[in-house]
A and B are shown apart, each in its own frame.
Chain A
Amino acid sequence: MSAPAESPHPAASARIPPKLGGAAASGAAAPAGPGPAPHQQNGPAQSQMQVPSGYGLHPQNYIAPSGHYPQGPGKMTSLPLDSQCGDYYSGLYTVPTQNVVTPNTASQQPGAQHMYGRAPPAPHIVGSAPGSFQGAASSTSHLHTSASQLYSPFVNHYSSPAMYSANSSVASQGFPSTCGHYAMSTVSNAAYPSVSYPSLPAGDPYGQQMFTSQNAPTVRPVRDNSFSGHSTAISHPSPLPPPPSHQYHQQQSLSGCSTLSWSASGLSSTQDNLIRNHTGSLATANSNPTNTVADSLSCPVMQNVKPLKSSPVVSTVLPGASRRTPPAADRPAEPLASVTQPSELLQQKGVDSSSTTSSASPMPNSYDALEGGSYPDMLSSSASSPAPDPAPEPDPAPAPSAPQPSKMAKPFGYGYPTLQPGYQNATAPLNSGVPPSSPGYSGFQPYAQYPGMNQLSSSLGGLSLQSSPQPESLRPVDLTQERNILPTTPVWAPVPNLNVDLKKLNCSPDSFRCTLTNIPQTQALLNKAKLPLGLLLHPFRDLTQLPVITSNTIVRCRSCRTYINPFVSFIDQRRWKCNLCYRVNDVPEEFMYNPLTRSYGEPHKRPEVQNSTVEFIASSDYMLRPPQPAVYLFVLDVSHNAVEAGYLTILCQSLLENLDKLPGDSRTRIGFMTFDSTIHFYNLQEGLSQPQMLIVSDIDDVFLPTPDSLLVNLYESKELIKDLLNALPSMFTNTRETHSALGPALQAAFKLMSPTGGRVSVFQTQLPSLGAGLLQSREDPNQRSSTKVVQHLGPATDFYKKLALDCSGQQTAVDLFLLSSQYSDLASLACVSKYSAGCIYYYPSFHYTHNPSQAEKLQKDLKRYLTRKIGFEAVMRIRCTKGLSMHTFHGNFFVRSTDLLSLANINPDAGFAVQLSIEENLTDTSLVCFQTALLYTSSKGERRIRVHTLCLPVVSSLADVYAGVDVQAAICLLANMAVDRSISSSLSDARDALVNAVVDSLSAYGSTVSNLQHSALVAPNSLKLFPLYVLALLKQKAFRTGTSTRLDDRVYAMCQIKCQPLVHLMKMIHPNLYRIDRLTDEGAIHVNDRVVPQPPLQKLSAEKLTREGAFLMDCGSVFYIWIGKSCDNNFIEDVLGYPNFASIPQKMTYLPELDTLSSERARSFITWLRDNRPLSPVLHVVKDESPAKTEFFQHLIEDRTEAAFSYYEFLLHIQQQICK
């Protein structure tokens, strides 16, 4: 390993100083021995490596630094002197290394922070007084030994192919380039066991390899050094100058301890040893070509990522790559179990780290350090004030012997800046490598990205979640004066006002949002603010990266069963305090070991604690029956009406195309039923020559003719299924049966599915007219545009609701596809999906030839529907910090207990909302957390738990509450509440409530701002879009009055409001309007090698529509392109393919692929908008003055209509109400 490192050295020598800074942490000391320059080069890479590899590695690095210290007498002295934190920082070199060490130690020792602070001094002391170091070393050695023992088991685990493979796979996924690294890493992993266990020389090489692989080439030397240093340190404990190899081993296992020892060793005489080790390590590094390659491949950031992945221990490598924290998390995740983070996650982390760190390959190291730092911070925060500790730490550290070392190590890395340590470490290696303290340091520091470190440290130390309110979000806006209220760029979710550290860890707003990102302290304060408090969840959304954790024990709070998450506090190494119920829990032994880093005693670095969104593979404890197979049943309406509409052709075609893509494993089962006035079953049992149709005409008492052969294994009976799908569309072409016995068909489906559970997809085209659950038409077409009472929004019968509850009990979800041209009482039919956690699709006026756009939409929706992820027999529990309570849930599910939702199926397009209330004052806490845990059976038959955790600050002033309003989340929650209100009370009640919500909140805000004129309508900047969005809601199909709206359309809009995730719902409520006839590349973004123009958002008003332009409206499920009468002929020709406006057809639903720049831009923009939509939007080209334009114009919500206010009038109305 060292050899490879060396090779890079020459080249990297120039870099060395900076890199050393980065690398210093890892193996700075070692580099010093071999040659500063090479080490330096290696250093950066190494640092990266170290980070990924694990804390243990870091410690090694630290040791190396210590070695460095000795090398540079001046430095050494300075270090001891530096014992003060500040000094350390200044002397990044020494300090960094120390810091690096510290992380490891910190992880090992609960009180690491203090220790850290002390630790640095201690090392220094060691340097000055070898004897003292020895003592420290010995103590450390003890730790190491213990650690090593633990490790050995762990190591075994690591060594286990599964672990490695998983890691490797992850790595490979994440980073192709890294793959090589992975391989390396895996190899090294294999080596690790030996290394970690015994501080054998052989083991050392492995470790080194690992490191090198992880680290960038340049870094590698450093790493090696560091490793050597570590190893030396480790070995040192007993024998100060043990062979480097030994040292390495020890270091790996006992990274934290070793660090201490290192310092000692380095101080004493080990320096030479270290140096030697470094050289050796360098050689090894050289040997790791892959590592170098990986480094080269990866950009600075990328490199980091890659190194992580590449890191010998996959887990370690990955974590490192993904920014230390993530990697760390991964590593920690399961000592035994492999933590497979999606490569994507790692990448992201890497990116993040890169962004944070800035540039420089050394950065990775710094990341590692950062991670380490963050941990300590975490610890410190839990223990006390993190920030203060770091500074003081150095001083106190010296006293404790064994603990001190560990502590010291932490201090080094962390102490000061937990993050900084990492950086420092990186720099430190350099320093160590390059004795010259000052110059090297200075160079390193920049690399180290101190800013990031400082931020972290400050954030950590401060724990000051409540920083000064964001002035921008509180800036009063006079709504009536502001003409352009809508920003030209999309509205993003506000970022909770947390410290940088927690912000980074917090859950993505795409999965988890709260209407108030500053939680009021008391219910009284919330009442004063007059804003809704609730959560919006998208728990099962498709993630590009997700850490998956396999562990024997899933660590949870013993009293409230909360899963361990990034926001818990570690009181010491052995105990953590639940952030929801504040109970102190023990850290299980298994959790102490971090397989990725092969380090022990760093529970805060495990992936569970580093990621707010994780997925656990649940053990058999979490299932009382074997996980169910994927079971799909299709229940198809084949009455005359259905055959006439022609959906069967499209469905069967889609199914045939996607039969192999249906999520599932070898147990997947599938079945078909059709019904008109009778029910038809299809026997598809393997061995039959053709599908057998069985007709049951007794719809009053449905029975299953052959219960065993109706649901068949997809793979065994594939030919029969294909035959059936090919035959189905033509089987009923001559049917004269007009009745539809949907109820009995559903009963039969329920009976069929009861034994297993699964998914029932129902296709219905008309009002059920026979048997149980028959419905009458309730709609009076003359009342469609009534401004008074809208009736029949609720179900006409309980039949469907009860059936849904029965299905839910049997883990069966019913998805409803309603394709009808007439009233079909969706309000009643939808219940069957609502309470069984299904989903609802509605295609009004569906006809396969007369309405091609709907047919195309069905086709695309089916493709998504059939191939998207699915989870079976799921339950979702939402927990929140003591004092908060959830009361009302919105979405499709059955509420089984006050905080438990029963979801027979979960799909990635399902969103949920929860209303919250504050039951107890939150005065004694500054943070509240929310956790959703979704337990489901994947289509592969695995029991999995997806956990999201959101952390928000608590505030005590009304101004802060207003500053943190997430207006989009608030609107979505209000929409959900309004749907409930319109069903339980009346539509006009719901509309009034919506208006009142605006009036109340704005008047409440107005009363807090005393110096305002009473005539002005003011809102805080964070709420300025509130009236606009509410007006949009009032004009939405679900709530509008006075405009002709079919009852089914209205009910469908309500269903969508209830079950769509926020991102999609917002587009439905407030469409985006863009002008597309003048797209430019200005501000364009690049997605998959395509240039996507980013035109500014236009407000939804006809005043923005010029006759010369062409506009695109994105309504979520529909796109409209409106072409002005005087639109430029060039645009029409280039984009639409017609010579002029007059020749554009009335119905146009696609853009031709023309080879012109403007066409390319328009299409890439539309394609980009279409990506990641659950419902594929249909495109309508609307000519000005065509009859279809009313569809388009009804979305211009800022304009006045016959029945509704314009935006300005609405504001005046609100103002009037406030003044009353």
Chain B
Amino acid sequence: MAFTFAAFCYMLSLVLCAALIFFAIWHIIAFDELRTDFKSPIDQCNPVHARERLRNIERICFLLRKVRGTAPRGRRKGKADRGPELVLPEYSIHSLFCIMFLCAQEWLTLGLNVPLLFYHFWRYFHCPADSSELAYDPPAVMNADTLSYCQKEAWCKLAFYLLSFFYYLYCMIYTLVSS
């Protein structure tokens, strides 16, 4: 029965993991929203709808941006209230886990997280749009391949975070109970 650094790490991870689950669910909803569309050509040909749709796609892609706030000068002043980007926080939270577990010398947990960490690094530095600040590129994201890939990615992450949530819970209790 000892409140070790490892126990602290697991407790913090537990909380942050809930946030990650939220992010994953948000991703799933966002991609689903992108995928669903009205079949009616009447709606499709409506420029208002076109604009809304475009804005929607851009908004979602914007939320998935890698980097905050490099909006071109002037042009987007009125649209600055787009909300926070979600990709970078997610990646940084996950990286934080890994660092904490490294410090706590929880090798098994670290080992479980390293693959995802590397995936995040790859995703971050190898974004689909060349030289683009968007991890998700509006012109490309509607591509059925990209979209289904993104959806799969989001579902897998959700599963991973859920499992790790319970794993952290178990580990936290275990470290607390075991001296």
Q: Is the CB of B46 within 8 A of A894?
A: no
Name the residue in A623, A809, A984 with the highest tally of chain B Cβ atoms < 10 Å from its Cβ: A809
Q: Verify if A794 is at the interface (C-beta below 8 Å from B).
A: yes
Please give, as numbers and ranges, the residues of chain B lying within 8 Å of A898 by CB-CB distance. Answer: 35, 37, 142, 144, 147
Q: Which of A701, A875, A887 contacts B45 (CB 8 A)?
A: A875
- Given known pairs A772-B75, A794-B130, the reply for A896 and B45 (CB within 8 Å) is no
Asked whether, in the complex, the Cβ of B138 is within 8 Å of the Cβ of A877, the reply is no
Complex contact B144–A896 (CB within 8 A): no
Would you give the shortest CB distance from B82 to chain A, in whole angstroms?
13
Inside 8 A of A885's CB, which chain B residues have their CB?
Answer: 144
Given contacts A805-B139, A887-B145, contact A700 B41 (CB under 8 A): no
Picked from A625, A799, A945, the residue with its CB within 8 Å of the CB of B47 is: A625
Assembly CA distance A984 to B42 (angstroms): 35
Given A623-B45, A797-B131, do A805 and B74 touch, yes or no (CB 8 Å)? no
A892 to chain B, nearest CB (A): 10
Contact call B47/A757, Cβ cutoff below 8 A:
yes
Give A877 to B40 CA distance when docked, in angstroms.
Answer: 11
B50 engages A902 (CB within 8 Å): yes
Distance A700 CA – B73 CA, assembled complex (angstroms)? 8
Q: Name, among B48, B50, B129, the residue most crowded by chain A CB atoms within 10 Å (CB to CB).
A: B50
Instruction: Say yes or no: is B128 at the interface (Cβ < 8 Å to chain A).
Output: yes
Which residues from chain A contact B46 at a C-beta distance below 8 Å? Answer: 623-625
Please give, as numbers and ranges, the residues of chain B lying within 8 Å of A897 by CB-CB distance: 35, 37, 53, 142
Q: Chain A, interface size: which category?
A: 35 or more
B85 in the interface, Cβ–Cβ < 8 Å? no
A223, CB-defined interface residue at 8 Å: no
Task: Give the residue name and chain of the A residue nearest to B70 (CB).
Answer: A798
Instruction: Quote the shortest CB–CB distance from B118 to chain A (angstroms).
Output: 20
Q: Let me know if B55 is at the binding interface, CB within 8 A.
A: yes
Q: Is B44 interfacial (CB 8 A cutoff)?
A: yes
Pick from B57, B130, B144: contact of A983, CB below 8 A. Answer: B130
Residues of the A chain whose Cβ atoms lie less than 8 Å from the Cβ of B138: 805, 894
A561 to B37, CA, bound (A): 13
A498 is an interface residue with CB less than 8 A from chain B: no
- Measured CB to CB, the closest approach of chain A to B68, in angstroms, equals 15
Selected from B37, B47, B54, B57, the residue in CB contact (under 8 A) with A873 is B47
In chain B between 101 and 133, which residues have their CB closer than 8 angstroms to a CB of chain A? 128-133
Chain B CB within 10 A, most for which of A561, A801, A897? A897
- CB-nearest residue of chain A relative to B38? A897
Q: Do the beta carbons of A895 and B143 come within 8 Å of each other?
A: yes
Q: Are B41 and A935 touching (Cβ within 8 A)?
A: yes
Q: Which residues of A contact B134 (CB under 8 A)?
A: 798
Residues of A within 8 A of B39 (CB): 560-561
B49 CB contacts on chain A under 8 angstroms = 624
Q: Are B131 and A886 in contact (CB under 8 A)?
A: no
A701-B74 contact in complex given A623-B45, A798-B132, C-beta closer than 8 Å = yes
**In contact, A935 and B74 (Cβ under 8 angstroms):** no
**Chain A: which residue is nearest B141 at the CB level?**
A895
Instruction: Identify which of B74, B139, B145 contacts A772 (C-beta below 8 A).
Output: B74
Q: Specify the chain B residue showing the minimal Cβ separation from A895.
A: B142
Smallest distance from the beta carbon of A340 to chain B beta carbons, Å? 22
Q: Which of A747, A798, A877, A943 has the most CB of B within 10 A?
A: A798
Chain A contacts for B41, CB-based, 8 A: 561, 622, 875, 877, 933, 935, 945
Give CA–CA (A896, B43) in the complex, Å.
Answer: 12
What CA separation (Å) do A933 and B147 show in the bound complex? Answer: 23
Q: How close is B39's CB to chain A, nearest CB, in angstroms? A: 5
Digitize A895-919: 1 where CB-to-B-CB distance is under 8 Å, 0 elsewhere. 1111010100000000000000000
Evaluate contact between A888 and B42: CB separation under 8 angstroms. Answer: no
> With A887-B143, A887-B145, A889-B143 as given contacts, are A624 and B42 in contact (CB-CB < 8 Å)?
yes
The complex places the Cα of A805 from the Cα of B142 at a distance, in Å, of 13
- List A residues 611-637 near B (Cβ within 8 Å): 621-625
- Which chain B residues (53-76) contact chain A, with CB distance < 8 Å? 53-55, 57-58, 72-75
A810: contacting residue among B37, B42, B51, B74, CB under 8 A: B51
A560 to B47, CA, bound (A): 22
Q: Choose from A701, A747, A886, A935 the contact partner of B44 (Cβ within 8 Å).
A: A935
A interface majority secondary structure: mixed
Set of chain A residues within 8 Å of B58, measured between Cβ atoms:
805
A935 and B45 in contact, given A802-B72, A805-B58, A895-B139 (Cβ under 8 angstroms): yes
> Chain B residues with Cβ under 8 A from A794's Cβ?
129-131
Q: Which of B45, B131, B144, B145 contacts A795 (CB 8 A)?
A: B131
A956 to chain B: closest CB distance in Å? 26
B73 x A624 contact (CB < 8 A)? no
Residue of A nearest to B40 (CB): A561
Q: With A and B bound together, what is the CA distance between A795 and B53 in angstroms?
A: 24
A793 to B129, CA, bound (A): 12
Chain A nearest Cβ from B34, distance in angstroms? 8
Q: Which of A624, A757, A810 has the most CB of B within 10 A?
A: A624
Question: Is the CB of A811 closer than 8 A to any CB of chain B?
Answer: yes
Q: What are the residues of chain B within 8 A of A41 when measuring CB–CB?
A: none
Residues B44 and A900 in contact, CB atoms below 8 Å apart: yes
Interface string of A931-974 (1 = CB under 8 A from B): 00101000000010100000000000000000000000000000
Instruction: Verify B144–A805 contact, CB threshold 8 A.
Output: no
Residues of B3-56 whose CB lies within 8 A of A: 35, 37, 39-42, 44-51, 53-55
Which residues on B sit within 8 Å (CB–CB) of A799? 72
Beta-carbon nearest neighbor of A756 in chain B:
B47
A798-B132, A935-B45 known; A808+B144 contact, CB < 8 A:
no
CA distance A797 to B132 in the complex (A): 7
Task: Establish whether residues B128 and A984, one from each chain, have CB atoms under 8 Å apart when the complex forms.
Answer: yes
Given contacts A796-B131, A898-B144, A984-B128, contact A877 B44 (CB under 8 A): yes
Render A816-860 as a binary contact track against B, CB cut-off 8 A, 1 for contact: 000000000000000000110000000000000000000000000
- Which A residue sits closest to B140, measured CB to CB? A895
Q: Is the CB of A805 within 8 A of B54?
A: yes
In the assembled complex, which residues on chain A have CB atoms less than 8 Å from the CB atom of B37? 896-898, 900
The reply to whether A622 and B45 contact each other, CB–CB distance below 8 Å, is yes
* A835 contacts B139, C-beta separation under 8 Å: yes
Residues of A within 8 A of B55 (CB): 809
B73-87 vs A, Cβ < 8 Å mask (1 yes, 0 no): 111000000000000
In the assembled complex, the CB of A773 is this many whole angstroms from the nearest CB of chain B, namely: 8
A1156 to chain B, nearest CB (A): 55
CB < 8 Å neighbour of A625 from B44, B48, B53, B132: B48
User: By the criterion CB–CB under 8 Å, are B42 and A622 in contact?
Assistant: yes
Chain B residue numbers with a CB within 8 Å of A624 are: 42, 45-49
Complexed CA–CA distance, A700 and B53 (Å): 29
CB pair A873–B51 under 8 Å, yes or no, is: no
Q: Which residue of A lies closest to B54 (CB)?
A: A809
Taking CB atoms, residues of chain B closer than 8 Å to A808 are: 50, 54
Minimum CB–CB distance from A730 to chain B (whole Å) comes to 34
In Å, the complex CA distance between A885 and B147 comes to 13
List, in ascending order, chain B residues with CB within 8 A of A797's CB: 131
State which residues 432-463 of A face B: CB under 8 Å. Answer: none
Question: How far apart sit A758 and B15, CA to CA, in the bound complex (Å)?
Answer: 52
With A and B bound together, what is the CA distance between A226 and B111 in angstroms?
A: 89
A-B contact pairs, 18 of them (CB 8 A): A623-B45, A624-B46, A625-B46, A625-B47, A625-B48, A700-B73, A772-B74, A793-B130, A794-B129, A795-B131, A796-B131, A798-B133, A798-B134, A799-B72, A811-B50, A873-B50, A894-B54, A935-B45
Residues in B lying within 8 Å of A, measured CB to CB: 35, 37, 39-42, 44-51, 53-55, 57-58, 72-75, 128-134, 138-139, 142-145, 147
Interface residues of A (CB under 8 A from B): 560-561, 621-625, 700-701, 747, 757, 772, 793-799, 801-802, 805, 808-811, 834-835, 873, 875, 877, 885-889, 894-898, 900, 902, 933, 935, 943, 945, 983-984
Q: Contacts A561-B39, A700-B74, A873-B45 given; 8 further ones with Cβ under 8 A?
A: A561-B40, A798-B72, A798-B132, A888-B143, A889-B143, A896-B44, A897-B142, A933-B41
Q: Which 7 A-B pairs have the closest CB atoms?
A: A794-B130, A897-B37, A895-B142, A624-B46, A887-B144, A809-B54, A809-B51
